[in-house]
């Protein structure tokens, strides 16, 4: 390990530990202390009373059950449908086209997807309007299709949002697996393509997609924004209930709320452990399955069904985005009309009416957070290059830590620490809190392109006398401009989607598109809600568009020269 690289790596590690890891650990520790009765501001001593209060609250068992059903059910369903679509796209040779087609739904924040999906499946939603003419409906059906007691709307909404992400992860992982060789080998032994995928290819894919699946699972179990919009309200899921208790005017509610936050974290940990145990059990069962030698003719039908359902779910996602756009421009839209009777630009033409301030905060926070996280990610990756040491497993764990822990499990405690530091309620606190979740995504997005850079370019620059800094700024960064901008766009999209960090650290003073959209979704004018949701979706779209367009504009002469040669 080179001394220069070792010093840089040590410096980056110190920054990451102090700015990312330590706040999370300290926040979780403070929440844990409060869950056992220790709170400096409210007094009290070590006690189990908060837990007794928690389990005595009405609907507590239902909230826990809803979290488990919607969280685990949505992740399993999204994973199965993603596998069916991945097999179909790989078999048809359209994997590249499929990855590009997923961009619209991937770019849209969770809250915007939830609002659009709610507009789609509501009793007076777009689906009901389209069916009304055929079925002769003059009034909306009396069926609770949004915020239903069973949580089905939330479960399906989570699938709509997470399916594109898992499918993209699978398509990317499939490029690292010898799919063609495995298919040829399996078919030569008389197995169908579906059987080969399940028996040979999926076991090779799973180690590559395990962490993204666990991240999706952790989010599904502890999401707040989507659960507030689509989930049942009385009682709600555990994460939503805890968020409400933290905001209760009765300060004593922080004790059961903290216990609920710890319980939410324990629930996530238990389910993730369950995934690990299930993986081992399935691996052993799979060996028995393989040794039986069955050719698996029924698997093809199951995968085709999963693929068809996956296409339907993706269609719901695109329809949700479309109905958001329609509502944002609608002036009058009465049931059962399939389209608005009249249109208006009134809400869009009046940014001073509310959305202008929220959009300004969202844009400013996103740019600041993305710039900080991108700088830190580049420094981390450059430190790895200069030290010539591979990334340790514990370093990867540090990156994924904020994504695997439920936000509600440490944000309250972190808010208390920020309050003591005099940061709560300001822009700096929100930037810091959002960076905890933006940095991992930027690192994940940039790591593989950075490692894939042709080392011959670096050796050539070094042979010409370029030092480490000059190689970074004159070779690496210009060459990796495209991936860097894509990573920045991903970070910006994550920032735009942040609800809980902005709500807790902003103390209600920082109104972003995410916080306003979730608040308005509970009962405001659909046209207003649609405007906020469309804006929340438009900002990430613009970021991705710039990430793709800027390299093409800057390097257009290089491409023309290469084509002429």
pLDDT at 67 over 80: yes
SS percent in the chain: helix, strand, coil, step 5: 80, 0, 20
**What single-letter DSSP state applies at residue 343?**
E
**Picking from 62-66, 407-411, 463-467, which range would have the lowest pLDDT averaged per residue?**
463-467
Reported as a single tens digit per residue, the pLDDT across 50-59 is: 999 999 999 9
- For the residues 381-404, what does the mean pLDDT come to? 85
Q: What is the pLDDT of residues 100-159, one digit of tens each?
A: 777 777 888 999 999 999 999 999 889 999 898 788 888 888 888 899 999 999 999 999
Alpha helix (H) residue ranges in 388-480:
393-404, 411-421, 427-451, 455-463, 468-471, 477-479
Specify the pLDDT at position 162.
94
Distance of CA 495 to the CA centre of its chain: 11
* Mean pLDDT across the chain: 88
* Span 208-242, pLDDT tens digits: 999 999 999 999 999 999 999 999 988 999 999 99
Q: Where are the alpha helices (DSSP H) in 58-101?
A: 60-92, 95-101
Structure tokens at 418: 């920020």
> Do the beta carbons of residue 91 and residue 193 sit within 8 Å?
yes
Helix, strand, or coil here: 350?
coil
**φ and ψ at residue 358, rounded to 5 degrees:** -65, -40
Query: Hey, what are 292's tokens?
Result: 């039986």
**Gap between the Cα atoms of 477 and 459, Å rounded:** 15
Q: What is the mean pLDDT of residues 455-460?
A: 86
pLDDT band at 561 (very low <50, low <70, confident <90, very high): very low
Q: Is pLDDT of 423 > 80?
A: no
Poorest-pLDDT segment among 89-103, 177-191, 433-447, 452-466: 89-103
Q: Interior CA angle at 494 toward 493 and 496, to 5°?
A: 65
Domains recognised in the chain with CATH numbers: 1-43+347-565 (1.10.3720.10), 65-243+296-344 (1.10.3720.10)
Whole-number percent of the chain with pLDDT over 90: 50
pLDDT band, very low/low/confident/very high, at 562 (cuts 50, 70, 90)? very low
More reliable by pLDDT, 67 or 285 = 67
Question: CB of 494 within 8 A of CB of 516?
Answer: no
pLDDT for 353 beyond 80: no
Query: How far, in Å, CA of 172 to CA of 194, rounded?
Result: 19
Give the CA count within 13 Å in the CB-facing half-sphere of 37.
10
177 secondary structure, DSSP code? S
Residue 40 pLDDT exceeds 80 = no
Q: Measure the CA–CA gap between 33 and 12, rounded to whole angstroms.
A: 30
C-alpha–C-alpha distance, residues 509 and 504, integer Å: 10
In this prediction, residues 389-411 reach a mean pLDDT of 87
What pLDDT, in 10s, does the model give residues 180-207? 888 888 878 777 788 888 888 888 899 9
Max mean pLDDT among 20-34, 409-423, 445-459, 464-478 falls in: 20-34
- How high is the pLDDT of residue 98? 67
**Closest residue by Cα to residue 503 from 113, 240, 117:** 240
The Cα 242–Cα 237 span in angstroms is 9
Q: What is the pLDDT of residue 565?
A: 41
pLDDT in tens, 92-112: 777 667 667 777 778 889 999
If one compares 337 and 70, the residue with the highest pLDDT of the two is 70
């Amino acid at each position: 390990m080179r001394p220069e690289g070792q010093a840089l790596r040590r410096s980056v590690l110190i920054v990451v530990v102090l700015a990312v890891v330590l706040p999370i650990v300290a926040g979780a520790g403070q929440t844990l202390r409060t869950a056992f009765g220790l709170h400096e501001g409210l007094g009290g001593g070590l006690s189990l009373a908060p837990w007794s209060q928690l389990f005595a609250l009405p609907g507590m068992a239902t909230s826990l059950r809803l979290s488990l059903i919607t969280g685990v059910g949505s992740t399993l369903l999204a994973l199965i449908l993603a596998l069916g679509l991945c097999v179909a796209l790989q078999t048809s040779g359209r994997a590249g086209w499929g990855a590009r087609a997923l961009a619209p739904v991937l770019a849209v924040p969770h809250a915007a997807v939830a609002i659009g999906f709610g507009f789609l499946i509501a009793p007076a939603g777009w689906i009901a309007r389209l069916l009304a003419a055929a079925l002769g409906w003059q009034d909306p059906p009396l069926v609770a299709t949004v915020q239903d007691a069973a949580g089905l709307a939330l479960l399906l909404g989570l699938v709509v949002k997470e399916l594109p992400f898992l499918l993209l992860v699978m398509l990317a992982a499939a490029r690292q697996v010898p799919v063609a060789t495995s298919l040829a080998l399996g078919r030569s032994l008389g197995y169908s393509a579906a059987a080969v995928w399940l028996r040979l290819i999926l076991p090779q894919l799973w180690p590559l997609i395990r962490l993204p699946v666990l991240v999706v699972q952790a989010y599904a179990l502890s999401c707040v924004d989507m659960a507030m919009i689509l989930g049942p309200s009385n009682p709600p899921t555990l994460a939503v209930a805890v968020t409400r208790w933290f905001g209760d005017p009765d300060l004593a509610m922080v004790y059961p709320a903290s216990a609920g936050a710890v319980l939410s974290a324990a629930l996530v940990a238990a389910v993730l452990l369950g995934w690990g145990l299930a993986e081992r059990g399935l691996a052993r069962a799979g060996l028995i399955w393989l040794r039986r030698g069955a050719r698996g003719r029924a698997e093809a039908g199951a995968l085709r069904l999963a693929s068809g359902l996956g296409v339907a779910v993706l269609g719901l996602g695109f329809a949700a985005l479309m109905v958001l756009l329609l509502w944002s421009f609608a002036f009058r839209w009465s049931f059962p009309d399939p389209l608005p009777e009249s249109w208006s630009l009134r809400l869009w033409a009046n940014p001073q009416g509310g959305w202008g301030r929220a959009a300004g905060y969202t844009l400013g926070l996103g740019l600041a957070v993305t710039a900080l996280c991108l700088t830190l990610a580049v420094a981390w990756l450059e430190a790895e290059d200069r030290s010539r040491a591979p990334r340790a497993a514990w370093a990867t764990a540090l990156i994924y830590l904020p994504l695997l822990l439920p936000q509600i499990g440490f944000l309250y405690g972190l808010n208390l620490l920020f309050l003591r530091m005099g940061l709560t309620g300001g822009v700096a606190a929100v930037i810091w809190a959002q960076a905890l979740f933006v940095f991992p995504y930027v690192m994940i997005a940039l790591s593989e392109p950075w490692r894939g850079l042709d080392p011959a370019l670096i050796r050539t620059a070094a042979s010409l006398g370029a030092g480490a800094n000059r190689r970074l700024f004159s070779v690496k960064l210009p060459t990796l401009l495209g991936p860097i901008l894509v990573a920045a766009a991903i970070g910006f999209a994550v920032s735009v989607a942040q609800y809980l960090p902005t709500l807790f650290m902003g103390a209600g003073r920082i109104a972003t598109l995410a916080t306003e959209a979730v608040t308005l979704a509970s009962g405001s004018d659909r046209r207003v809600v649609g405007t906020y949701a469309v804006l929340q979706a438009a900002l990430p779209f613009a970021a991705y568009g710039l990430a793709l367009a800027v390299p093409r504009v800057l390097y257009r002469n290089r491409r023309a020269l290469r084509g002429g040669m």
